Amino acid sequence: MLIPEKLKKGDTIGILAACGDIKDTRKIDTAKKLFESAGYKVKLSDTIYTKKDYLCADDNIRAHELNKFFADKTIKAIIAARGGYGALRILDKIDYGLIKNNPKIFAGYSDVTALSLMIYKNTGLVTYNAPMAYSDFGSDIDEYTKQSFFNVLENGISEITIDTPRVFSGGVASGVLWGGNLSTIQSLCGLDFIPDNKFIFVTEDINEPVYKIDRMFTQLLNIKHFKQNIAAVILGDFNGIDNEQSFNTFFKDLSEELKIPVISGLKFGHEKQKQTFPIGVNVLLDTNQGKIFLQ
């Protein structure tokens, strides 16, 4: 496990576009000014200003920019510009050896989940589920989201509070905190992406009907390695579901089938309020306290 150095005032933050195209570069300018006002320097990837259909550039260029940002020793943290789609297409073009030799903060969510999990799997580098430049900092960012981002990346974190817990099945579990956007994780099936040890599966999605959530979980649980190693489930935002009762029934049944703790209410996903937290660290989940303790 590689834990990146914390952010310090005066460090350079790299804003990286590696997925969907940036439709309004003024939002990137807004994010850049916010980071600068917080005491940081900022570098922008060339792909902020390019476009190829629904992507910010072709696969080779997007992978090159990611590799270049990790190789750049002046950049101390890489913040994804946005998600959308495109990460899956460059996973085989990433220089994981270079990343392992140049560990630094890498942060994002949504489609960026694919990059985060494959970087962790291939290098051991702890990444961060965190707000993004275009999608969050480029607009009227929520104060909770902003404070969580800077507090975690500057000071570290020892525990995570599940603010509005709903316990489907209680208990205590330990393992690697691992996960992200559910549909993106499902898209990794066929690759070697699952942790080798016990893991606490933290996941979210948006505008997905319950039957699709069922299908995605079922596909993952059909992987023997996944089912053997999952130690608990923590749910973030699943706004836009079509039937809340069916959603709750599915996860209640899942908790009984797997005989593991299942809890919802963590603030992460596609809503305005987002908790920044690391992916790939060892944690203990206690559903009675509604807390995740980093070990």
Residues belonging to the chain: 295
Q: Please confirm, yes or no, whether 270 is among the known catalytic residues.
A: yes
Instruction: Check 65, 255, 264, 270 and give the catalytic one.
Output: 270
In the 8-state DSSP scheme, what is residue 3?
P
Low-confidence ranges of the chain (pLDDT < 50): none
Per-residue pLDDT at 216: 98
Per-residue pLDDT at 163: 87
Q: Name the CATH code of domain 12-155 (choices 3.40.50.300, 3.40.50.880, 3.40.430.10, 3.40.50.10740).
A: 3.40.50.10740
User: In which element (H, E) is residue 245 found?
Assistant: helix 244-258
> For residue 57, which phi and psi values (nearest 5 degrees)?
-175, 175
Bridge partners (DSSP) of residue 263 are: 167, 234
Q: Please confirm, yes or no, whether 36 is among the known catalytic residues.
A: no
Per-residue pLDDT at 48: 98
Q: Given this chain, do its domains 12-155 and 159-294 carry the same CATH topology?
A: no
Instruction: Check 45, 116, 148, 204 and give the catalytic one.
Output: 204
Per-residue pLDDT at 228: 97
Instruction: Check 45, 64, 65, 110 and give the catalytic one.
Output: 110
CA distance readout (Å), 189 to 117, 125, 160, 222? 12, 21, 29, 10
291: nearest Cα among 255, 272, 266, 274: 266
Per-residue pLDDT at 263: 98
Indicate the fold that domain 159-294 takes in CATH.
Glucose Oxidase; domain 1 (3.50.30)
Its pTM stands at 0.96
Give the start-to-end residue ranges of the domains of the chain: 12-155, 159-294
Q: Please confirm, yes or no, whether 110 is among the known catalytic residues.
A: yes
How is residue 218 written in tokens? 């079922």
DSSP string for 96-160: HHHHHHS--EEEE-GGGHHHHHHHHHHH-B-EEE---IIIIITS---HHHHHHHHHHHHH--SEE
